[in-house]
Amino acid sequence: MTSSIRKVFQGVASRQQMFRMFDRHVQRPDRRDGDATPLYAGEWFEIPETEHNYMFEILPPLWIRGSLFAMREFLTGSVTSVFFALRIDDAIRYFHGYCDLSDKASVETMRVAIIDRESRPVRAMTREERLEHIWSTTADDYRGYAGQRWPNVARGKRTVLLYGGKDGSFLKLLEDLTDDEIAAKLPVQLRHLPSPIAA
């Protein structure tokens, strides 16, 4: 797993979606073991102003830097929630991201990446963004992690339940979904967004 900066939800998350995405990996098999920093660090998504303000008022922030603030409670290791209020195309928009504060450049790197991603003139989604959106919006009962019945190379990877028609439902690795399976799992309004390569 990498800690690259990645958008994990398309659109503006509601309060319920926001709280659910705070721990998108709650079912991971190694939850009590190991360092989860690479799993969370770099994840970000957009939230409404009301949720941004709500989070600001919950606890005194760890720090405030202009239009950014960090939560005092750490999720794992040196990873904590950072909330951004950013001017993009003449509008103030609000974002949540997980930053690894052991890397002094992580907050600024994420800020720049969000502005760059959200300033694109054409709405588009990469394959990775489509997969992350599917993972973020799939109910816990229909997503999980490959366990002992899977080959060694697949164990611990994310899985989603697919409906196979007359053959019934089956589990498949998230990363192995075909374009048609991805389209079927996405909301209608996101199915036909272009790839950034084509945009």
Position 3 confidence tier, pLDDT thresholds 50, 70, 90: low
- Amino acid 74: pLDDT: 83
Position 97 confidence tier, pLDDT thresholds 50, 70, 90: very high
Tell whether the model's pLDDT for residue 199 goes beyond 50: no
- Dump pLDDT digits (tens) for 123-163: 678 889 899 999 998 988 889 898 888 989 988 889 998 88
- Amino acid 114: pLDDT: 93
165 vs 139, which has greater pLDDT? 139
Position 189 confidence tier, pLDDT thresholds 50, 70, 90: low
- Amino acid 111: pLDDT: 94
Token digits for 72? 């005092």
What is the bridge-based pairing of β-strands 43-47 and 6-12?
parallel
Q: Which position has the token pair 């054409």?
A: 122
The C-alpha torsion from 47 through 53 and 58 to 62, rounded to 10°, is: 90
**Mean pLDDT estimate for the chain:** 85
User: What's the rounded mean pLDDT across residues 66-82?
Assistant: 89
- Amino acid 2: pLDDT: 42
- Dump pLDDT digits (tens) for 105-127: 999 999 999 999 998 766 678 88
User: What's the rounded mean pLDDT across residues 158-175?
Assistant: 85
